[in-house]
Structure 1
Amino acid sequence: MSTEFHRIRRLPPYVFAEVNKLKAAARASGKDIIDFGMGNPDTPTPPHIVAKLVEAVQDPKTHRYSNSKGIPGLRKAIAGYYDRRFGVDLDPETEVIATLGSKEGLANLANAITSPGDTILVPNPSYPIHAFGFVLAGASIRHLPMHDGMDFFTALERATKHSVPPPTALIVNYPSNPTAEVCDLAFYERVVDFCRKHKIWILSDVAYSELYFDDVPPPSILEVPGARDIAVEFGSLSKTYSMPGWRMGYAVGNKELIGALTRIKSYLDYGAFTPIQIAATAALNGPQDCVAEMRKMYKERRDVLISSLAAAGWDIPSPKASMFAWAPIPEKFRHLGSLEFSKRLLLEADVAVAPGIGFGEYGDTHVRLALVENQHRIRQAARNIKAFLSKSNLTDPDYVSPMPNAAQ
């Protein structure tokens, strides 16, 4: 019996799994790994949100099936957030849907709107689900190279001109995962103008819209007049309220796209556990001091990471937003590629990072560092990395890193 399943064959090997396997083996052997690899918040969910979950779960009525599009109170809370934050007025019934994290929503919308062979425009590097949600739906991906010095609109125009069939949808993600790049409203205005002209749907991912470090917060594409004619936007409570394991996200915007996602989700799930949705409502409607504190913590960690690594001999651009630093591999190690560099950093400096190749071929000159360790451990990582960078034999192409024994 064949196990060469069609959709599985379209997925490349998950490169993060190689680093994760080495990380697990190193920890099993007793090493203390400082882990910047996964964007997994290390701080607890704010107490008032947890308290609301506990209160809700004690009501047996909440233990029944929920609503696949989200309970009305949560959809109203999401609409209220968009009104306060972006000045965007949304209809909770037709322009808002709750999702099991933004990742699930994007993947299910891809299935809802994609026919086999459709062309989808995706920046490269980008978060894997942006491309592979559509790959799993049978689409062909046209990458927009976003390596150093490449202009987004030059790449967009070229890809649109040479795509057969013409593109169905475009993915945009600001603040970006993994690059931490940000954009302004004028950028979105150009995107909307271009996509309206070429009849291209826009799927915008703003999961990191509240993790910004400058005075001007990142905008929403829905602030652009006419954007809702062609755009839908995905967000998440995971990073904003330190709720990653709760799996609570949303999609808002164009009624046709929200309707398509609502219909396909009605066949696939009954929504998140109702107490989680009630707690998410409390997060959005309740005091927002916790968000300001979260933002302050990540900014302080960012500053320590950038300054301590600079002192260690590794200059990294300071991100303006997100919980990531997009770090160019030091020049003398660049020939290794991001996966091998990540392995050696793990095995010889006890520091885990995410190899850039995991976000697309144009990410292979970088690694991603997540700000999920405290300041003390960030400084310890910098000391370890300084010793690692000073090892001259690492530039020897015949040098092989010592591998831990996975059986230990």
Structure 2
Amino acid sequence: NVISLGIGDPDIPTPPEIVEELYREAKNPVNHRYPSSYGLMLFKGAVSDYYEKRFNVKLDPSSEIIPLWGSKEGIASVAYAFINPGDIALIPDPGYLVYKIGTSFAGGTAYAMPLLEKNNFLADLKNIDEEVAKKAKIMHLNYPNNPTSADGNIDFFNKVVDFAEKNNILVCHDNAYSEVYFDENKKPVSFLNAVNSKEVGIEFNSLSKTFNMTGWRIGYAVGNKKVIESLGKYKTNVDSGIFNAIQFAATSAFKNYSRYVHQNISVYKSRRELVYSTFDKIGIKYYKSNSTIYIWVKVPEGYSSKSFAELLLNKANVVVTPGNAFGNYGEGYIRISITLPDSRLEEALERIKKVL
């Protein structure tokens, strides 16, 4: 009877209207043939409309958007498309492991950018060695952040653009958690809101967390035309595109995105407050943020990330993710996901209380 607070996989079902659209399109024999690796214009048009409404960012569907088998695939693919053996990629630490693994598989070297709580888990660009910066090909960023739950901001992204222009670096920003936020006045921004951002970078996004579609495997990359074109050239040689029925269903998702997003937020907000109040009562410290489905928790004194996670597993039958699983600078923390039914979350928290 182990309860997992580990993986961030929404338990909220995909909205039924989206599922119905998939069912309709899956029955159409036209959709049973090979799709284009560059995606349906209808889907890309929906992404373009969404970015303009949500972020006030204009995108050309014909040249600045490409669909992906989820943003995870795109992050790995961009490494193969742009990293040569010996090249350096700047990656956040702690961070989503695909940034490092994709770089390594492509023969590159990952250089860690420490994300520290004293800096609100924003990468400190001034501390990046100048010689490393000159050799770097790619910089990976991710805000709202997994695992820390920290938010980025326009001032930071503008500094990133300046840094990238100075050092001729491609910025790859992962914005998969942009629609999980808890303050309407502090909605997460896009990297593409920064001045001249399209000149130096692209942004990955996904339908996984926004519409609870992790198993559907559909996301997209947007931004710099040349980068999108190169990513497309790579993908035409390694995959055959995304099933058109899924693209049609995903297109329908964007029509009601605001309603779906706020339905999710209402669920996650109550769960987050439950975790906060429980931890406040038992003296567990955590990083209080505005975004994501995660809570970044300080381990109690006397424990490492691993030993505290082992304690919760062995004594409470609760799985959490040790912070150092995301990199060396995650040591001293654990990550908790709130993507499980309320009753199971309540039970997990009760077990943790008894152990501590």
When residues 194 and 94 of structure 1 are mapped into structure 2, their CA distance, relative to the original with a 3 A threshold, is same
When residues 289 and 224 of structure 1 are mapped into structure 2, their CA distance, relative to the original with a 3 A threshold, is same
Residue 298 of structure 2: which of 323, 328, 345 is its match?
A: 328
Shift of 1:287: 5.4
| Per-residue CA distance 1:256-298 (angstroms, 9 max, x = gap) | 1101110000001111211111100110123531211101111
Equivalents in 2 of 1:148, 1:46: separation in Å? Answer: 36
Q: Is the 8 A contact 1:235 1:249 kept in 2?
A: yes
Greater shift in the superposed pair: 202-211 or 299-308:
299-308
Residue 76 of structure 1: which of 45, 56, 68 is its match?
A: 45
2:198 maps to 228
Could you tell me which runs of 5 or more consecutive residues in structure 2 were left unpaired when the two chains were aligned.
none
Equivalents in 2 of 1:355, 1:361: separation in Å? Answer: 11
Is 1:366 equivalent to 2:336 in the alignment? Answer: no
Could you tell me which runs of 5 or more consecutive residues in structure 1 were left unpaired when the two chains were aligned.
1-31, 390-408
1:138 maps to 107
Residue 120 of structure 1: which of 89, 112, 121 is its match?
A: 89
Is 1:87 equivalent to 2:56 in the alignment? Answer: yes
RMSD: 1.6
2:321 maps to 354
Equivalents in 1 of 2:298, 2:80: separation in Å? Answer: 35
Q: Is the 8 A contact 2:115 2:123 kept in 1?
A: no
Equivalents in 1 of 2:81, 2:160: separation in Å? Answer: 23
1:342 maps to 309
1:60 maps to 29
SS state of the match for residue 9, structure 2?
coil
Equivalents in 2 of 1:237, 1:127: separation in Å? Answer: 17
Equivalents in 1 of 2:143, 2:336: separation in Å? Answer: 17
Equivalents in 2 of 1:79, 1:68: separation in Å? Answer: 18
When residues 128 and 340 of structure 1 are mapped into structure 2, their CA distance, relative to the original with a 3 A threshold, is same
1:249-288 equivalence runs, <5 A: 249-286=219-256, 288=258
2:126 maps to 157
When residues 287 and 315 of structure 1 are mapped into structure 2, their CA distance, relative to the original with a 3 A threshold, is closer
1:96-115 equivalence runs, <5 A: 96-115=65-84
Equivalents in 2 of 1:302, 1:263: separation in Å? Answer: 42
Equivalents in 2 of 1:154, 1:98: separation in Å? Answer: 28
SS state of the match for residue 335, structure 2?
strand
1:238 maps to 208
Equivalents in 2 of 1:87, 1:164: separation in Å? Answer: 31
| Per-residue CA distance 1:80-120 (angstroms, 9 max, x = gap) | 11111111111111100000000001110110011111111
Shift of 1:370: 0.5
1:175 maps to 144
1:297 maps to 267
Query: Which amino acid is 2:355 matched to?
Result: F
Q: Is the 8 A contact 2:39 2:241 kept in 1?
A: yes
Q: Is the 8 A contact 1:94 1:259 kept in 2?
A: yes
List, as ranges, runs of 4+ consecutive aligned residues in structure 1 with deviation greater than 3 Å.
150-155
Is 1:148 equivalent to 2:117 in the alignment? Answer: yes
Larger radius of gyration: 1
Q: Is the 8 A contact 1:338 1:355 kept in 2?
A: yes
Shift of 1:165: 5.6
1:381 maps to 348
Shift of 1:344: 2.1
SS state of the match for residue 52, structure 1?
helix
1:23 maps to none
- Give identity over the alignment, percent: 37
Equivalents in 1 of 2:2, 2:208: separation in Å? Answer: 24
Shift of 1:310: 2.2
Query: Which amino acid is 1:229 matched to?
Result: E
- The alignment's TM-score, normalised by the length of structure 1, stands at 0.84
1:24 maps to none
Equivalents in 1 of 2:123, 2:36: separation in Å? Answer: 43
Q: Is the 8 A contact 2:148 2:287 kept in 1?
A: no
2:4 maps to 35
Q: Is the 8 A contact 2:114 2:123 kept in 1?
A: no
| Per-residue CA distance 1:64-91 (angstroms, 9 max, x = gap) | 1111121111111111111111111111
SS state of the match for residue 288, structure 1?
helix
Query: Which amino acid is 1:343 matched to?
Result: E
Greater shift in the superposed pair: 194-203 or 90-99:
194-203
Equivalents in 2 of 1:154, 1:229: separation in Å? Answer: 21
Equivalents in 2 of 1:351, 1:318: separation in Å? Answer: 22
Is 1:200 equivalent to 2:156 in the alignment? Answer: no
Q: Is the 8 A contact 1:353 1:369 kept in 2?
A: yes
SS state of the match for residue 78, structure 2?
helix
Query: Which amino acid is 1:350 matched to?
Result: N
Query: Which amino acid is 1:269 matched to?
Result: D
How many residues align? The count is 355
Residue 49 of structure 1: which of 8, 13, 18 is its match?
A: 18
| Per-residue CA distance 1:349-384 (angstroms, 9 max, x = gap) | 011111111100111211100011233322222221
Residue 279 of structure 2: which of 304, 309, 313 is its match?
A: 309
Q: Is the 8 A contact 1:118 1:165 kept in 2?
A: no
Q: Is the 8 A contact 1:312 1:382 kept in 2?
A: no
